[in-house]
Homo-oligomer: A and B are copies of this chain.
Amino acid sequence: MVTNLTESVSPSVWHGWGDPSHARPLGAGALEFLRSTLKLTSIDAGHPPVDLADVRVGPVALEEDDLDEIRAIVGTQHVATDAVERILHAGGKSTPDLLRRRSGDALEAPDAVVFPGRTEEVGQLLSLCVRRQLAVVAFGGGTSVVGGVEPLRGRFAGVVTLDMRRMNRLLQVDPVSRTASFEAGIRGPAIEAALAPHGFTLGHFPQSHQEATLGGYVATRSAGQASTGYGRSDELVKTVHLETPAGPFDVGSLAPGTAAGPKLLDVVVGSEGTLGVITAVTVKVSPTPEDKVYGSWSFPSFAAGADAMRRLRHDGRLGDMPHVCRLSDTDETASTFKLGGWKTGLLSGYLAIRGQQTPALSLFVWEGDRRGASARMRRSARILRRAGGIPLGPAPGKSWEHGRFSGPYLRDELLTRGVYVETLETAATWGQLEPTYQSVRRAILDALEARGGAAHVQTHISHVYSDGASLYFTFLSGLEEDWLAQNARVKEAASNAIVAAGATITHHHAVGLDHAPYMGAEIGDLGIKVLAGIKNTLDPAGIMNPGKLIPTPLETQP
């Protein structure tokens, strides 16, 4: 069974997040909060992006021969060299990515954007690119916030981006074994639409869900908002078809629990386009939940809330764990309350009376059949109350879910108003969570305020494990004139603090270009050598996504 989805993907705006028609303007309260918190004299819309017509792209560096060969493989209509398409593929969606394009700089745009339709075409394209010494960037939703899809040329004659959007079919569903196979270019909503008639969900909802592709999930080892319940992408994937310069590579096993040596699937998962192009994926699927039950509890501090999350995982029954588990620190809770209008104002007053002057808000979603989900929530509620939680009902969880994909849209308006905003994340063991939180938060704040401006950092836990949890930092300050240096300063300070704390450089944003310098600290020199050796086997010419993942200087790549 092959189901061809007639999915129309609304184009993502070239200088910002997603489809601009989904963006909502910042309210007066938010603007006032920003003005007072960041001590900015003005936050008017004085920094708009340049006109698209004024964006600079370099000349197409490909020979006409190259383009003819590419056209012969995929068809003329599936090869684009026009400025708009090149600008749309000039990078990902990190804040420096956007700032660069907003300023009119798309000089790093790929020479051509190719839209392959079949895995064999991808294989042929890679052979051609090896022969012609062209770098290749696989492009799914293009939502990387770590420079994962920067079309870097390195030492190559040109760079070709393969946009996978045409490869969006559901290939097979095995309802008995609960697996489904897809072409890798299918996006989050289309995955869910394809599975729904079979009664299944993938359960993978990263904030980039509406744009990102299944291949991107796998390539970046992504986690979604409900991954505490459904499992991360690396737990969901069973097999991958990877087209590599060394040939097609079917990796993974449909058979569960194989002990046949090292798990090479886990080499391809997280390989971020550096080994080949993921063209098909088989995943585990789950039955669509009948219902969702929401709950929210407030804690006297972030540490108390984190301990409650740990107890929920440790003391509760395994099956009682919510699919979504989030805990905001007191800063994030305060800003949520300030921006929430009169309702959250009342809530804030109530918590103060109950002794929580600076509360930390948690929210949970249990999925399943209604009776089961409610029973799980009731048992969990006992643990959370014993741990000092004040129950706040379902509203905060529902409100979060309603807006859960809209956060990144706010960044576009903030940048236009001269506000720098970025996010980064890590994870640590329960034992190291509080010191990691404190030191990374401090490092971000100090770096942001190093030039004298005021800053705001807020943090939440979004994923809970038996052995620890994730930490997600969102931070804002006035946009400095040299925003590139500002961004580098903050990211470097945060990354160094993460490394010093023994935490991981990334929990779900992956490595890309931005975190590559920290991979040595993360996996050791010998780990880097192992990765380089694997790359040398599958991509001996080094054409696949140069400069990403492995911190090899581009000039000296193998």
Query: Which of A's residues lie within 8 Å of B, judged by CB?
Result: 174, 176-179, 220-223, 232, 234, 238, 244, 246-251, 253-272, 284, 287, 310, 314, 317-320, 368, 372, 426-432, 463, 465-470, 502-511, 515, 519, 522-524, 526-527, 529-534, 536-538, 549
In the complex, chain B residues whose CB is within 8 Å of the CB of A469? 256
Given contacts A429-B174, A467-B178, contact A372 B317 (CB under 8 A): yes
A-B contact sample (6 more), CB < 8 A, given A232-B257, A534-B534: A220-B259, A223-B257, A255-B427, A257-B465, A262-B266, A264-B527
A-B contact pairs, 18 of them (CB 8 A): A176-B431, A221-B261, A234-B263, A238-B467, A246-B529, A254-B428, A255-B502, A256-B465, A259-B510, A262-B266, A262-B267, A262-B269, A266-B267, A267-B530, A318-B319, A533-B533, A533-B537, A534-B534
A508 and B254 form a contact (CB under 8 A): no
Who on chain B is nearest to A518 by CB? Answer: B260
- A463 in complex: contacting residue of B257, B262, B429, CB < 8 Å: B257
In the complex, chain B residues whose CB is within 8 Å of the CB of A266? 262-263, 265-267
The listed residue with most B CB atoms (<10 A of its CB), out of A222, A426, A466, is A466
In the bound complex, what is the Cα–Cα distance between A505 and B314 (angstroms)? 36
A526 and B260 form a contact (CB under 8 A): no
Minimum distance in angstroms from A471 CB to a CB of chain B: 10
Minimum distance in angstroms from A265 CB to a CB of chain B: 8
A523 and B256 form a contact (CB under 8 A): no
Who on chain B is nearest to A232 by CB? Answer: B257
B538 and A260 form a contact (CB under 8 A): no
In the bound complex, what is the Cα–Cα distance between A515 and B527 (angstroms)? 28
B508 and A259 form a contact (CB under 8 A): yes
Given contacts A529-B537, A530-B537, A538-B526, contact A261 B271 (CB under 8 A): yes
A249 and B526 form a contact (CB under 8 A): yes
In the bound complex, what is the Cα–Cα distance between A544 and B509 (angstroms)? 36
In the bound complex, what is the Cα–Cα distance between A506 and B69 (angstroms)? 44
B260 and A515 form a contact (CB under 8 A): yes
In the bound complex, what is the Cα–Cα distance between A429 and B221 (angstroms)? 24
B284 and A507 form a contact (CB under 8 A): no
A426 and B526 form a contact (CB under 8 A): no
- A523 in complex: contacting residue of B259, B260, B310, B426, CB < 8 Å: B260
In the bound complex, what is the Cα–Cα distance between A94 and B177 (angstroms)? 32
In the bound complex, what is the Cα–Cα distance between A523 and B260 (angstroms)? 9
A259 and B264 form a contact (CB under 8 A): no
Given contacts A249-B527, A251-B527, A264-B527, contact A427 B466 (CB under 8 A): no
A430 and B519 form a contact (CB under 8 A): no
In the bound complex, what is the Cα–Cα distance between A372 and B318 (angstroms)? 11
Minimum distance in angstroms from A379 CB to a CB of chain B: 10
In the complex, chain B residues whose CB is within 8 Å of the CB of A507? 255, 257-259
Who on chain B is nearest to A255 by CB? Answer: B504
Who on chain B is nearest to A268 by CB? Answer: B262
Minimum distance in angstroms from A368 CB to a CB of chain B: 8
In the complex, chain B residues whose CB is within 8 Å of the CB of A536? 533
In the complex, chain B residues whose CB is within 8 Å of the CB of A264? 267, 523, 527, 530-531
In the bound complex, what is the Cα–Cα distance between A247 and B530 (angstroms)? 12
4 nearest CB pairs, A to B: A319-B319, A266-B266, A258-B504, A256-B465
In the complex, chain B residues whose CB is within 8 Å of the CB of A428? 254-255
Who on chain B is nearest to A516 by CB? Answer: B261
A250 and B430 form a contact (CB under 8 A): no
B257 and A466 form a contact (CB under 8 A): no
Given contacts A259-B508, A468-B256, contact A177 B238 (CB under 8 A): no
In the complex, chain B residues whose CB is within 8 Å of the CB of A269? 262-263
Who on chain B is nearest to A498 by CB? Answer: B255
In the bound complex, what is the Cα–Cα distance between A519 and B264 (angstroms)? 12
A256 and B467 form a contact (CB under 8 A): yes
In the complex, chain B residues whose CB is within 8 Å of the CB of A466? 178, 256, 284
Minimum distance in angstroms from A380 CB to a CB of chain B: 12
In the bound complex, what is the Cα–Cα distance between A259 and B222 (angstroms)? 7
Given contacts A284-B466, A534-B530, A534-B534, contact A260 B174 (CB under 8 A): no
A531 and B465 form a contact (CB under 8 A): no
Who on chain B is nearest to A464 by CB? Answer: B256
Who on chain B is nearest to A179 by CB? Answer: B467
In the bound complex, what is the Cα–Cα distance between A249 and B507 (angstroms)? 22
A261 and B538 form a contact (CB under 8 A): no
Minimum distance in angstroms from A524 CB to a CB of chain B: 6
Who on chain B is nearest to A223 by CB? Answer: B257
In the bound complex, what is the Cα–Cα distance between A534 and B535 (angstroms)? 10
B177 and A531 form a contact (CB under 8 A): no
Who on chain B is nearest to A533 by CB? Answer: B537
The listed residue with most B CB atoms (<10 A of its CB), out of A253, A259, A269, A515, is A259
Given contacts A246-B529, A255-B429, contact A260 B504 (CB under 8 A): yes
Given contacts A271-B262, A467-B177, A522-B260, contact A255 B221 (CB under 8 A): no
